[in-house]
Structure 1
Amino acid sequence: MPHFEEFYANKLRGGLGVVDAEAVLDLRGASREQASASLQDMLERSRFAHAKSVAVRLDPPPEGGGETLFQPIGKALLEAKKRGWIDRLQTLPASDGLGFYVVLAGKPERES
């Protein structure tokens, strides 16, 4: 897009999604407890690994409405961002369904 700065062109193209992520944590079909445990395990492990991007996929709301894992998983991800475990957090584009695109901070580099 030659008429737009790269930042604005990326905004028009849409957010980062499942195809842009290095890994996918698929929580579709998981209970709230299973999803929470899987997410916490991923966050804990990420503290000792290299930084990477992860798409966290969630079930859409049931027919007629109802609860999803979006709010509890979102709160857990926001808390991890406050702790410095996550560098970037955004929702997935609508074409990818419900979920989050997360860039895990990874293990901090040691200074020599």
Structure 2
Amino acid sequence: MPHFEPFYADKLRGSLGVVDAEAVLDLREASREQAVASIQDMLERSRFAQGKSVAIRLSPPPEGGGETLFQPIGKALLEAKKRGWIDRLQTLPAQDGLGFYIMLSGKPESRP
């Protein structure tokens, strides 16, 4: 069994993060309404552009516990994946904090 440096081992495991993304959508300071609107806007725009990778950063839970945007944003992204707007959906690796790494499908290519 070959041994890999941690960087390459993470790549093989699929832990793509902020440094791997073509764009970053930082929602750490956004309200729930702003975050959901930003995600919907990104998804709608992506349907008419080339596919690209995006890291979505979310705030960690407040000290002492509480709600985060992880669940509502995750549900919206999962629905978009079911619709075919997202090719890849995974959580960010621990060192990047709370969030998701996605690969937007982009505009479908026309076939003659």
Aligned equivalent of 2:73: 73
3-state SS of 1:68 partner? coil
- Separation in structure 1 between the aligned mates of residue 109 and residue 38 of structure 2, nearest angstrom: 26
Aligned equivalent of 1:28: 28
TM-score normalised by L of structure 1: 0.91
- Structure 1, unmatched stretches of 5+, are none
Render the CA deviation track for 1:22-54: whole Å, top value 9, x for unaligned: 000000110000000000000000000000000
- Separation in structure 2 between the aligned mates of residue 35 and residue 51 of structure 1, nearest angstrom: 21
Aligned equivalent of 1:51: 51
TM-score normalised by L of structure 2: 0.91
3-state SS of 2:56 partner? strand
What are the within-5 Å matches in structure 2 for residues 1-112 of structure 1?
3=2, 9=9, 10-11=12-13, 15-112=15-112
Task: Give 1:103 deviation, angstroms.
Answer: 0.1
3-state SS of 1:111 partner? coil
3-state SS of 1:50 partner? coil
Identical aligned pairs, as a percentage?
Answer: 80
- Structure 2, unmatched stretches of 5+, are none
RMSD (Å), alpha carbons: 1.7
